[in-house]
Amino acid sequence: MCRNIKILFNFDPPVTDEEIRAASLQFVRKISGFTRPSKANESAFSLAVDEVTAVSTRLLRSLETNATPRTREEEAAKAKARGAARFSA
């Protein structure tokens, strides 16, 4: 899985549409191999991003949990600690 794609479920405040779209764009970039598609592939690329965004939004809105919501600050601190442990050796 692409390391740049972040968990979007169960945050307080909830994720925004922009965050869902950004994750969808990263996903489509990863599976297509394109950072920026050519003119010939631009419409297919954009359509894929739109469809992944729509499906992801429906998924995130339909999921339920009893776990306490995450905060962005806690997740950033965890990521920083993982990075420090990974690159300090």
What is the Cα 48 distance to its own chain's centre?
Answer: 15
Cβ burial, residue 9 (10 Å; 0-12/13-18/19+): middle
Q: What is the pLDDT of residue 3?
A: 63
Q: What is the average pLDDT score of the chain?
A: 90
Q: Which one, of 4, 15, 2, lies nearest residue 61 by Cα?
A: 15
Asked whether the predicted pLDDT for residue 68 surpasses 50, the reply is yes
Radius of gyration of the chain (CA): 16
* Span 6-34, pLDDT tens digits: 889 999 889 999 999 999 999 999 999 99
Domain extents for the chain? 17-88
